[in-house]
Amino acid sequence: MADSNNNNTLKIGLAGFGNVGAGVYKNLLKNGALLRERTGQNLIIHRIVVRDPDKPRDIDLPAGIVSTRLDDLVKDDEIDIVIELIGGTDYAFDLVKSALENGKTVITGNKALLAEHGKELFAIADREKTPIYFEAAVAGGIPIIKTVQESLVGNSIESMAGIINGTSNYILGRMSDAGLAYEEALNEAQQLGYAEADPALDVNGWDAAHKAIILASLSYGSWVRSEDIFVEGIEKISLADIRVASDLGYTIKLLAIIRLDTESGNIEVRVQPSLIPKNHILASVNGVFNAIFVRGDIVGETLFYGSGAGQDPTSSSVISDLADAAAHLGSGAASRTGFVPHGLYGHPLPIDESISQYYLRLSVDDQPGVLARISGILGEHHIGISSMIQPEEHCEGAASIFLMLYFAPFGTMKKAVAQIAELDCIQDEPILMRVESL
């Protein structure tokens, strides 16, 4: 990208030139004139920091633009904006902190960094009067951060329910549509590039959890700690769960739930595979797409849908942040630092106090009296059974039981399931999932 001596030029330091970093560079070249018309600024990539400068790349970079030292971004007085796309939390934290302390506007797509260190970083940004932009940290190309911060600023956010991990959504969809087992669907996702060689953060729920922490913190005015949210992944879901849920009129999705408890003022934040009705709009979100269903007290129900990852959608969000940063830097006007704390809400709701309906799968000895023992334990905990399925086909000596259970606190439900699991007639670990009415 050619340099310029124009007074309306903003120089950018880009940390990381992987899939998204290359997309940012490519799309700035493509739409540079458009951005100049809309922002009044020339946006110039001045320096790119990479781990391996000799790695073959599809994009030819100008001589002298590449470095291997993050300090080259922070110490260069010509650089106005630092874009952090290196991932992880250690080096990324040091870079963002140092950039802010040196008066450089920061743009990041690092959800884990903000989920773990957002409170500290935004305090530094506020102290230095230097903003952090982070649209790309949640849901790829969906402009959900700006929506919460700007379009819904006059609303109390009553709830959010989101499919915000495309890998898990793809796997569950292939299990449902093609009848693939979990491992088969995961292998297919890896072959297509939808899942990493190590897919742990996607399938164990923590990728979605990091995004949920950011959304909850923006919505409710204080940073939610990772230890205060409940996270489960999709690794234990079987084809039997998919089929039974479908027969009952549900589909299974990995959902991030963010909800205001109107009685206590506390907030509920959790990520779990959940059964949702087939007629709900989130049930139709397939493949690697993301969707976030938001309910505000004034606007009512809104849905945001689009690509949750990928080079172009994510780089689109980074470039959107660049345009915002350029507008503020060009005008000289004060900019918000990226997070506005407020004290209108209480603490995170303890997960054991959250209430929902439930789905329970049990593998049991095929003998009389088993169901009576199970229902007896549920009754002791005041948990009612709304329906039961026991398929006729089963292995010799073993049977599967699928129960739909009425509303109960999660803590009570866990105690009942733990007690059931200790029965000598239970063969495998019980599988418990929430049933969300949304």
Give catalytic residue positions: 211
181 alpha carbon, distance to own chain's centre:
24
The CA distances from residue 177 to 167, 277, 281, in Å, are 15, 16, 17
CB 290 within 8 A of CB 254: no
The CA distances from residue 389 to 241, 296, 318, 357, 402, in Å, are 11, 37, 49, 16, 5
User: Which residue type sits at 391?
Assistant: P
Q: Which two tokens stand for residue 286?
A: 């397939």
Q: From CA 388, how far away is CA 393, in angstroms rounded?
A: 15
DSSP 8-class letter at 91: H
Q: Which two tokens stand for residue 47?
A: 């320096």
Classify burial at 247, counting beta carbons within 10 Å of its beta carbon; exposed 0-12, middle 13-18, buried 19 or more.
exposed
User: Which residue type sits at 122?
Assistant: F
Place of tokens 């397939």: 286
CB 205 within 8 A of CB 230: no
Neighbour tally for 382: CB within 10 Å: 11
Q: Which residues of 307-335 are buried (b: 16+ CB within 10 A; e: fewer)?
A: bbbbbebbbbbbbbbbbbbbebbeeeeeb
Q: Which two tokens stand for residue 103?
A: 């008066």
Angle at 75 between CA 69 and CA 78, to 5 degrees: 110
User: Which residue type sits at 256?
Assistant: A
Strands 230-231 and 267-277: parallel
Coil/strand/helix, residue 196:
coil
Coil/strand/helix, residue 227:
helix
Residue 237 forms beta bridges with which residues?
Answer: none
Q: From CA 213, how far away is CA 185, in angstroms rounded?
A: 28
